[in-house]
Structure formats: C-alpha cells, structure tokens
Amino acid sequence: MNAPPAWTAKVLTIFPEMFPGPLGVSLAGRALESGVWALETVDIRAFARDKHASVDDAPFGGGPGMVMRPDVVDAALAAAEPVVRRIYLTPRGRRLDQALVRELASVPSIALLCGRFEGVDERVLEARAVEQVSLGDFVLSGGEPAAMVLIDACVRLLPGVIGKQDSLAEESFERGLLEYPQYTRPETWDGRTVPETLLSGHHEKIRAWRQAAAERITRERRPDLWARRLDAAKH
Ligand code: SAH
C-alpha cells in the first residue's frame, strides 16, 4: 500500500483538459505519478444551470466582456470540498511569494479557482471567504497558467520531491536574498573563466564568496528585498 498523497491541489476551471499539462512532466510529473501529491480538476461548466451550459453573463453596470456567475462558481467550489484553503487567482490579489508558497505547501489541500473572461462575480468570493492571490502586475487571459505556476512552486517543496533538501535552503528568497551565480564545466568557455575562489576547494572562502555575491546581486537588482533585509536586521 502506498501512503496517501501529502498534498492535493483541486483546480476549478472551464478548461480541465489543460491539466496536468506541464505539471505532468519532470519533477512535478514524477512526484504526481508516484503519488507524493494529487491533482484533481473540477469542471466549472458541469455546474452550469441552463441548457447552453453558460458559466458567464454580462456585467451589471455595463462594460466589455463577461463575468463568471456566482451560482455556478459556488456549486463548483462546493464540489471541491473539503479543502483547507480556497484561492482565486486574480491580478487584484495578494502577490504570490516564497513565504506564501511555503504556507500553501504545508497544508494538506488547496482549491484554486481559475477565472476567465473579466473574472468572477465578487459576491461568491466574499460569501465563501475565498482568498485572492496574484502572480504579479500583469494580466493573463485566464487563471490556469497562474494555477500551474503556484502548484509547481508548492510541489517542489514537498518532502521527497527534490532529493537534497539543502539545495532548497540556499535558493533565491529563502533567506531574503537572491541566489549567488552558478557555474559548471567547462572551466573556460568562450574565453571566460570561473571565479577562482570556486575552484579553490576552500569551503569557508567559497561560502563567503557566495554570501557576498548574493548580497551584491540583491542590492543591485532588488532594492526592495535589500531594504527589507536591512530593516529586519535592525529589529
Ligand atoms: N478583469 C480582470 C482581469 C481578468 S483576466 C482585471 O482587470 O482584474 C482573466 C482571468 O485570468 C482572471 O479572472 C484571473 O483568474 C486570471 N489572471 C489574470 N491575470 C492574473 C494574474 N496576474 N495573477 C493571477 N491570475 C490572473
């Protein structure tokens, strides 16, 4: 008997055929196959009430596009129960970051509601206490790619998915820093060599070099992360 999956993602979508898609390949795909995590899709269209199976309607107040109906979305949400967290992917949500990914990977199950058209009727989000999460300040045509990104980020944190758990701790954002640059063979490529310290075999010097590089890159590229780090050091 295999152990039950440590983590389940239930995706509510009008395009269930998009899944597992990229999540069925490589790291996430192998973990899915071996039962570390489970993926369920809920076809929102199956909960439509009329003979045309419509899931959307024109916005009250006018304007372009269509809005997903609260009654249909509610029925789909109910079908996804039980879950620990219910999330609607939307550009108006809390920005996804590694801290939120860690949180979501640490509960047994999450439901992800993928919007299409202009989005979802606000009332069902309020009434069912659906959290709102954004991937960033840009607009996708649907929530499905966002759900895939969120799931991918969670799955790689599940126990046993990445062989060496050490490699997780060093990564960008885990320590409030971007990662240091990486190099591999050949030692000289296109006339470029590898920083000498990394070839020295001197573990303490290598650690110091990487720390300094991570700090410099964070300072240059992400002043927001750097400011937060300086702030945290003060308290
Ligand atoms: N009218 C909405 C955008 C709708 S885009 C607005 O201006 O806020 C259609 C769907 O794509 C959304 O319902 C959402 O589920 C998804 N989506 C678009 N951009 C996203 C983003 N940055 N993060 C997460 N989901 C997004």
- What pLDDT does 166 receive? 67
Residue among 235, 170, 172, 178 nearest 206 (CA):
170
Q: Is 108 in the pocket of ligand 1 (CB under 6 A)?
A: no
Pair of tokens at residue 230? 């300086």
- Tell me the backbone φ, ψ of residue 56, rounded to 5 degrees: -135, 165
Q: Is 112 in the pocket of ligand 1 (CB under 6 A)?
A: no
Give nearest CA residue, ligand 1 atom 1: 118
User: Largest Cα–Cα distance in the chain?
Assistant: 71
Specify the ligand 1 atom closest to the Cα of 68. 13
Residue 235 scores a pLDDT above 90: no
Q: How far, in Å, from the CA of 12 to the mean position of ligand 1?
A: 14
- What pLDDT does 198 receive? 98
How much is the average pLDDT of 26-44? 98
Q: Find the helix or strand (DSSP H, E) in which 192 lies.
A: strand 192-193
The 10 Å CB-count burial string (b at 16+, else e) for 63-78 is: eeeebbbbebbbbbbe
DSSP label at 4? P
Domains of the chain plus CATH, in order, are: 7-155 (3.40.1280.10), 169-234 (1.10.1270.20)
- Read off the pTM: 0.96
Q: What is the pLDDT of residues 164-195, one digit of tens each?
A: 766 778 888 988 999 999 999 999 999 999 99
